Amino acid sequence: MLSQCPPAQYPPLDKLIGTDGAVTPQSAPVLDPKEAAANARVWGLLLSAGKKRKPRKGKS
């Protein structure tokens, strides 16, 4: 929509994104290494099971 009007009529960026100019960085959540390893193992099993599965006959 902004491409249809001249740049002089653009609304201020602060109004568009809803901030008053102050940017507050959000910290990443702290992950448990054991939980992350277990999740990776499960994803690996899921992906390898999908590769081994034979396609059904009769369905395209």
Interval 2-54: pLDDT, tens: 577 787 888 787 777 776 656 666 777 888 999 999 999 999 999 888 777 67
Residue with the two structure tokens 């193992």:
41
pLDDT of residue 23: 61
Q: Is the dihedral of CA 3, 10, 22, 20 positive or negative?
A: negative
Query: Taking the complete model, does pTM exceed 0.85, yes or no?
Result: no
pLDDT of residue 16: 77
pLDDT of residue 35: 94
pLDDT of residue 44: 93
